[in-house]
Structure 1
Amino acid sequence: MALQHLPAPIRERLLIEIYQQANDLDWEFLSNTEKTNQYRRWIEDPKVGGVLLSYGPEKDARVWIKDVPMKEYARAQEGIGTYVRYAVNRFQGPEEIVRAACGSGWVMKPDSVGEKPNHCYAIAGDATRYVCWGRAGTFRDLVWAALNEAIDSVERPAIVITTRNGETVSTAERTRQERVAQRCGADLRYLHREMIPNPDYLGAAGGGHGPSQPTLID
């Protein structure tokens, strides 16, 4: 049986296990080398590789871990996509981004969330704004997306640079980002977020952190 056709209960158990371990490891803060080493450890783990190797060769098992659960991990943490329910902790979702970018009176347009980069549309009455967000390292992609929107949009697009505990954006970097955003006709905001226990989590009850409010950084 190909790994793409794993029995549903087996697949779900694997997703829960891998996401639990990724959460414990703070996956998004690992270096590329550390991530490579972790893929090897997953293959050696009886609860992950030990299961996958019953359905296919090692090379296919490694590809499955990388291209199925871990390809979607960052989106799941954002509260986006079909893998959200496997994430132990996640951010509050696009709604908090819209509040940070646009302020009160604006809400997320239903079914408007997309990726590459993460984005959505915010609405207030008849007005519509494009909002995209990501970490500081994705600023170039965010600017390009906002610039493309600014050409045809009546409302100024908004870029939100997000940080979490352990991350900061230097004053020099912020100054340059603000100048670039201004030149491109986009509003720029900074939002410090903390994860909350995922209310839709399928695994054991309770995430790793208590609920908290995002902080809009002036």
Structure 2
Amino acid sequence: MPQLNLPEDLRHRILLSMYRTADELDWEFLGNPGKTAQYRRWFDDPGIGGELRNFASDKDVRVWFKDVPMKEYARAQEGIGNFVPYVQRRFRGADEIVQGLCGSSWKVIPESVEGKPNHCRAVDGDSTRYVCWGRSGRLSDLIWASVNEALDASVRPGIVVTTRDGETVNQRERERHVRLAEHCGVDLIHLHRSMIDNPDLLALS
């Protein structure tokens, strides 16, 4: 993975510009042809690709687009990782997930929030619980992570299958998800989320 040695102000400006465009395109719903076309536009843009080619080869710039900012984009929308300050809009974070699954008395342990898959630990008094979440296409990863946790857990792990505006999971799929989770000894709910303006958005002077 190329690590471009960019001036900080240039890096901030490029990331803000790329993520603003990704937000406008609804990147997570964009098909591969659309993403490929946008990568080409970024590469050809004098203010993005043109600037980056002053610090790296054409090949490294193209790889950097995919393996650095856009690899982190979905995590940033979840409020996870170092790229959070660049997304225009994001989800409310792990607190919304945990309280949707466990109830309002459960609190997220902040330093436990991580990705691959998105997960955290929550506490309520002396009880600690593993919670992971993601879209239905990641269910196999969520099940596997939860089953591994269930082996040593005193409280059943939980899975939250998330949807966002413009996305649904039909009733038959929902029922099957719950049955799979029950079979594996973990809890599962479905949660629809809406995005909010990013309170941590970086403002350039």
Contact 1:78 1:91 (C-alpha < 8 Å) held by counterparts: yes
Task: Tell me which residue corresponds to 2:165.
Answer: 165
Consecutive unaligned residues of structure 1, counting only runs of 5 or more, are 205-218
Residue 203 of structure 1, CA deviation? 4.0
User: Which secondary structure state, in structure 1, belongs to the residue aligned with residue 69 of structure 2?
Assistant: coil
Task: Tell me which residue corresponds to 2:146.
Answer: 146
The CA distance in 1 between the partners of 2:174 and 2:44, in whole Å, is 43
RMSD between aligned residues: 1.3
Task: Tell me which residue corresponds to 2:93.
Answer: 93
Determine if the alignment matches structure 1 residue 75 to structure 2 residue 75. Answer: yes
Q: Deviations over 1:6-60 (max 9, x none)?
A: 1111111111111111111100000122111211111011221121122222111
User: Which secondary structure state, in structure 2, belongs to the residue aligned with residue 153 of structure 1?
Assistant: coil
Number of residue pairs matched by the alignment: 203
Residue 110 of structure 1, CA deviation? 2.7
Task: Tell me which residue corresponds to 1:129.
Answer: 129
**Do the aligned partners of residues 179 and 4 (structure 1) sit closer, same or farther apart at CA in structure 2, a change above 3 Å counting?**
same
Contact 1:90 1:195 (C-alpha < 8 Å) held by counterparts: yes
Contact 2:4 2:56 (C-alpha < 8 Å) held by counterparts: no
Contact 2:79 2:91 (C-alpha < 8 Å) held by counterparts: yes
Contact 1:86 1:203 (C-alpha < 8 Å) held by counterparts: no
Q: Which letter does structure 2 place at the counterpart of 1:30?
A: L
The CA distance in 2 between the partners of 1:25 and 1:58, in whole Å, is 24
User: Which secondary structure state, in structure 2, belongs to the residue aligned with residue 6 of structure 1?
Assistant: coil
With structure 2 as the length reference, what TM-score do the two structures score?
Answer: 0.95
The CA distance in 1 between the partners of 2:65 and 2:19, in whole Å, is 11
Determine if the alignment matches structure 1 residue 55 to structure 2 residue 55. Answer: yes
User: Which secondary structure state, in structure 1, belongs to the residue aligned with residue 11 of structure 2?
Assistant: helix
Residue 3 of structure 1, CA deviation? 5.6
Aligned residue runs from structure 1 range 164-183, under 5 A: 164-183=164-183
The CA distance in 2 between the partners of 1:115 and 1:156, in whole Å, is 20
Consecutive unaligned residues of structure 2, counting only runs of 5 or more, are none
Residue 66 of structure 1, CA deviation? 1.1
The CA distance in 2 between the partners of 1:13 and 1:32, in whole Å, is 25
Residue 176 of structure 1, CA deviation? 1.1
